[in-house]
Structure 1
C-alpha cells in the first residue's frame, strides 16, 4: 500500500495558513539533486491516508461530531462534550483537508493533464476524492475557499465561496470525474481504497453525487432531481453491495485505525446513553457490535454515559460501569468508512420519497437496514423480526423520521456524516448536553480555525458577514429547519 512513503509525501506547504515566501527564497530552497515532480501513485496514497486519518480520528470525529450526534460521550476531560472549544479546536480538518488532501489531489490532476501520455484515470480518481474532502469541509464550516484553493501560488489568501456554489461545483466535478474514469483505460497504482477497480470508482462518484444532491434538496429540489436523472442516464449505477463500500483499510500498528491507536493509551471515551437506550428500545441486534459490555458486572451489561456531564459527575458514574465502543471499532484494522452500501440505499429511499425517482421508498428503506445488519455480520430471521416492529416500520407520512433515525444508527462511528445527516433530516430528536454551554442548543457547525482570522482576515470577515456569526449555533445554508 506504499504507506511507508506517506511521511515523505505529505506536503509541508502552508496552504491557507501562512503568507508565501518570496520567489527568490523559494528558488534558494530547491534541491538540485532531487526530482521536483512527485509520482501520482504516491500522492494518491498520501492524500487518501491523511484524509482518512483526520476523518476517523480524534479532533473531528471523537472530540466533536461523534459527541454532537450522541454516538459517543466523554467520561474524562468533558469540555468538548459540553461544547467548550478554543479557536484551535477545529483546526485539523481545515489544515489536513487543504494541505494534505486537496493540495496533493490537485497535484495529481495537474500531472495527469500535463503528461505526454496522460492517464485520465488518475485525474478521475483525484476528482472524486477531492470532492469528498471539499464536502467534508463545506458540510462542517459552510462557506470555504474552493475556486482559488487550486492555485496557492497566485492566491495566498483565497476568497471563500458560498456553500451553495461549492456544492454545485462539486456536482460538476463529480460529473466530470464520471466521464473521465475509464474501466478499459490505463491502470492506476497507489489506490488503497478500490485497488484500481475503476468501475467501483465510477459507482463511488455517483454515490457522492447522490449524497450531495440530497444535501441541497431542501433548498434546490429541481437541481437535485436533475442530478439524479443524469446519474440514471449515465448508467454506471451506485455502490450496490457491501463489497463495494468506499473505505480506507488500516493495517497493524503503526498504521492502525486512529480509534484503536487512541484506546491503546487513553480511557476517556464511552458510548453515549442516547444510542445505547435507542438500541435497547428497538431490540437492535447491532448492540453487541457497536457497544462493549461494561468491565464490571452491571444489570444491563451495556451502559451508556449521558453527554455533557461535569468531569466529576461523569467519572463518578464509574469507568468500569460504563461501556466503551465495541471490539469491531477498536480493532487496529477496522476501516474508515467513507460511504456504505446502507447509506446509498437510505439515500435512494429518500430520493424516491421526495418524488425525485420512481423507485419504491419503503423497499429501499428495508434493504438499507438489512445492508447495515449484514455490514456487521448480522443476518437471518433477525432482520425480519426487527423490520416487523411498529417502531421500525417505514412511515411514508414522515419519511425523514424513519430514514433519519435508522440512518443515524447505521452511521455509528461515522461522526462527520452522521452530523451532516442529523442536521439535514432533523432526526433523531436529540437533547442538548446535560451541562452544555450553548443555552439549551446543540452545535450545528464547526467554527473556523483561528488562523483564518489572523492570516486571511478580510476573506474570513466576508464569509462571516454572508453566513452569520462564526459560532457553533449558526445554521449553514443547507440546514433549513
Structure 2
C-alpha cells in the first residue's frame, strides 16, 4: 500500500511537470522575440513618458490650471481644485509601470551587451521620470522602485533622498555616455547624438541643484562646482532642446488629440494680461484669436469659474491655445535652452557661480523668443523695455515671471518652478475649494492605500497629510 502511494506521488509529479512544460510552451508566442530590443523599448519609454508629461491629466487638467496658463471653459471642477484620490493616477501608474520598468530593462541590456550609451541614455530618462514624480507627490518609491522580484510593496524615500540619488544617477549617466562609443537606435529625441545626451544629463543636474538650493545651498553649489571642474557642457543652443516632436494622428501631440474631440480649455486671463502688458510677441504663438471678432483679438478666460459663469462668457469670445500648440507635430519640450539660461542666471544670482546673472537672464529671453521664430526686430524691442529688465534686488521675481512665460505649456515644470521661486504671484478664484490656496502637490493615487498601505502610511506620517495643500520639502516659503 505504501509503495503504491509513492508510485502515485511520482506519477503526479511527472504529470504536473509535463503539464507545466506544455503550458509554458503554449504561452510562448512564436511570432514574438523573447529578447527585448533596446531600440523599441527606448522609443516606447520616451513616448509614454512624454505623453504623460504633456497629456490631459497631469498637464491640461491640473498643473497648467495651477499656474494659470490655461483655464477651463466647461466642466470647470478641476479649475476650482475639486479632485479625488483617483485624479492623479496617470503620472504615477504610467511612469512606474511603463517608463521606469522599460528604462530599467534598457539599462540591463546596455550592461549585458557592453553598450554603455543605452545605459546612459536610459539612466538619464529614468532620472527625469523620478524627478517628475517627486516634484509632484513628494516622498515616493525610488530606491526600491522597479524591483518587483525583490520589493512587491516598495518603501517611499524622502524627497531629499530622492534628489540626492538622482544627482548621483545623473553623474553616473554623464560619465557612462560616450560620444565615440557604440551607436544606439530608437532615440526619438536626439537621434543618437550622445554629446547632446551628456548635455541633457548635466542640465538636469543643474535643475535639481536649484530644486534643493533653498534647503541645501552648499550642496547645490557643490553640484555646480563638480560640473564645472569636470569641464562638462550644458544645453548650449536651441538646437540642443530636449523634445519629442510628434507625428500625424494617431501619433500626434496630446494637446492636438484632445482638441480634435473636445473643447474644454482656453488660455488663462492671467497670462494673456501679462503678455499684453509686456507687448510680448509670443502672444500670437501661445494664443489663438477669438472665434468671434473682439476688440482685443486675444481674450483670456479667468481661472476658477463655475460652470454657469464659464458658460455665460462662452467659447467664441475667448482664446484657445495657439495654432503652434494645436498642431499634431507640436513638440513636447522636456528641457529648453531658454530654461537652461535662466537656471544659470539664478545660480549666478545666488552666488553659486561667477557668471553674469543679468546677461544670462537676457539671453534666456532671447532664446525663448527665437525658439518660437520671433523676428530680430521684435526681439530687440522686447528686451529693450524697462519692464523686461533684470532686477538684481529681486532675482526670484525677474527670473520667476519670465520663466513662467518661457515654460508655457510645460505645466509640471512651470508648477515646480512657481512653487520654488514664489513668482509669479497668483490669486486663486473665490470659487476654489482650498480656502484661498493653490495646490502645492498631487495627492497619492488611492490604489497606494490598498496595494501598498504600510509604505503609504509611513510616507504620510513622515511628510504630512495627503492633501493638495501639504507643502513639499523643496518648497520653502
Q: Same fold (TM over 0.5)?
A: yes
Does 1:49 find its partner at 2:50? no
Q: Could you list the runs of 5+ residues in structure 2 that have no partner in the other structure?
A: 1-19
> CA separation in 1, counterparts of 2:381 and 2:332?
30
> CA separation in 2, counterparts of 1:433 and 1:418?
19
- Equivalent residues, number: 457
> CA separation in 2, counterparts of 1:287 and 1:271?
10
Q: How far apart are 1:380 and its partner, in Å?
A: 1.3
Does 1:98 find its partner at 2:96? yes
Aligned residue among 244, 247, 250 for 1:251: 247
Structure 2 partner of 1:86: 84
Aligned residue among 302, 306, 310 for 1:306: 302
Structure 2 partner of 1:122: 118
> CA separation in 1, counterparts of 2:25 and 2:134?
37
Aligned residue among 239, 242, 247 for 2:238: 242
Aligned residue among 358, 374, 389 for 1:362: 358
Compared with structure 1, are the counterparts of its residues 357 and 252 closer, same or farther at alpha carbon in structure 2 (3 Å cutoff)? Answer: same
Does 1:206 find its partner at 2:208? no
Does 1:31 find its partner at 2:28? yes
Does 1:266 find its partner at 2:262? yes
Aligned residue among 144, 147, 168 for 2:143: 147
What SS does the corresponding residue of 1:270 show, helix, strand or coil? strand
Q: How far apart are 1:28 and its partner, in Å?
A: 8.5
> CA separation in 2, counterparts of 1:147 and 1:267?
41
Structure 2 partner of 1:293: 289
> CA separation in 2, counterparts of 1:155 and 1:379?
54
> CA separation in 1, counterparts of 2:368 and 2:172?
30
Structure 2 partner of 1:137: 133
> CA separation in 1, counterparts of 2:300 and 2:314?
11
Q: How far apart are 1:230 and its partner, in Å?
A: 1.1
Aligned residue among 429, 432, 440 for 2:428: 432
Question: Aligned-residue CA RMSD in angstroms?
Answer: 1.5
Q: Is residue 408–residue 428 contact of structure 1 (8 Å, CA) maintained in 2? A: yes
> CA separation in 1, counterparts of 2:268 and 2:209?
30
Q: Is residue 433–residue 442 contact of structure 1 (8 Å, CA) maintained in 2? A: no
Does 1:445 find its partner at 2:445? no
Larger Rg computed on CA atoms: 2
Q: Is residue 307–residue 434 contact of structure 1 (8 Å, CA) maintained in 2? A: no
What SS does the corresponding residue of 1:267 show, helix, strand or coil? coil
Structure 2 partner of 1:4: none
Q: Is residue 96–residue 146 contact of structure 2 (8 Å, CA) maintained in 1? A: no
Structure 2 partner of 1:396: 392
Q: Could you list the runs of 5+ residues in structure 1 that have no partner in the other structure?
A: 1-22
Aligned residue among 450, 460, 480 for 2:476: 480
